[in-house]
Amino acid sequence: MTLNYAFGFSVILLLLVAVNVYFFYTFTGLSKPHSFPVPSKLELAPDIFKDIFDQLNYLPSHYKVKNPKYLPVQRRLLQSFQVPSDTNTRSLWQDAQKWSNEETLFPRTYGAPGQILHAIRTSPIALVDNAPKGSIYAGFDRHNSEVFAYYLASVLNFKWIAPSTIRKVHVRNDVVPFATAGLKMTMLKNESGSHCIYGKCYYCKPNETVCPDNNGEIEGAAILYLDKQFGIHKYEVYKDKIVLVDNGKGLGNPAVDEMDILAPLYQCCILSLSTWLQLEMVPGGSLTDTIKLISATQGETLATEEHFRAVERRLLKIYATVQYCIGKHGRAKVLKSTF
């Protein structure tokens, strides 16, 4: 009898606690429109993160809807990626030396990027070798991330990056006959007789090879080689502009947004005005819509929906970080047209 009573009482107590907890969450939820709780692992981190997440939760609504001014810009950009039917790749390469100037590394006018990508994807292979560079290893690269980075840069009007596209090569037909002796030394045949490649880099080893698929092909990123002398400050520059090379580590875990990557922004709180105006053109899904549309002109699907959603979510965090900076220092100190 006493036991039954105690059991019943405990159940009531448990129910009371549960109801309390429920109301606690409901009330705190009502008091603040928080869709982005500050991640718990940041609780010990500087107040900066709390301030940025506050900005994020009260972001003005125009950062969440499409900017109508972007439509004509998007149309022109997509036109530049169209692949013209009469592309003469041979004459295109003859002009390649003249492509770069003070403003850009390669032409971006009507059809030019489309022609260049088409040439990179279809020109016959003349020689295959290992790249002489490459040092730091932090897991395998994801080749579609290289292409994604190039399209992202194109949407943001960033000109200092090499054109890049997905290309499949047939190893037996397109690679082996044109391979240098150095490359052949880093190739081996697997048990099914396929030519596999382990390449040449600090961490490359014969038991970690890349092998062709059932069609005898390997898919990779074909990136235009910029035959220029880069200045090295740990990052690389050409004509005093930072060149975005080595973009194969993108498209990692779409569920985690590493806020530390924004440290240069929230610590220095300086951003080029043109970059900011460009970012303000592409909220509300325009950024990833455009990347998808560019990829479609090249017949590519570069990332999962989860990755595209992550890019949109991270864009909101960039808006929030810039708002945090402007709130702290004022617009004139944060957004600079000259440095």
Interface with ligand ATP (CB under 6 A)? 133-136, 141, 162, 201, 223-226, 230, 236, 245-246, 248
236 part of the interface to Mn ion, by CB under 5 A: no
Partner whose footprint covers residue 133, from ligand ATP, Mn ion, none (CB < 5 to 8 Å by kind): ligand ATP
Length of the chain, in residues: 339
Instruction: Report whether 266 belongs to an annotated binding site.
Output: no
Q: Tokens at residue 296, please?
A: 């479609």
Of 257, 11, 22, 247, the closest CA to residue 141 belongs to 247
Partner whose footprint covers residue 211, from ligand ATP, Mn ion, none (CB < 5 to 8 Å by kind): none
CB nearer to ligand ATP: pick between 114 and 248: 248
Instruction: Report whether 246 belongs to an annotated binding site.
Output: yes
Residue 98 C-beta: closest distance to ligand ATP, Å: 17
How far is 295 from 302, CA to CA, in rounded Å?
A: 7
Q: Tokens at residue 4, please?
A: 């039954």
CB nearer to ligand ATP: pick between 41 and 133: 133
Instruction: Report whether 141 belongs to an annotated binding site.
Output: yes
Q: Tokens at residue 150, please?
A: 């190039």
Burial label for 200, CB within 10 Å (0-12, 13-18, 19+), is: middle
Using the rule CB under 5 A, which residue among 246, 257, 289, 312 binds Mn ion? 246
CB nearer to ligand ATP: pick between 32 and 228: 228
Can you point out the beta strands (E) in 130-265? Answer: 164-170, 187-189, 195-197, 217-223, 231-233, 235-238, 241-242
Cβ neighbours around 296 below 10 Å, total: 12
CB nearer to ligand ATP: pick between 9 and 235: 235
Task: Indicate the annotated binding residues for ATP.
Answer: 223-226, 236, 246
User: Which residues in this chain contact Mn ion in the complex, by CB under 5 A?
Assistant: 246
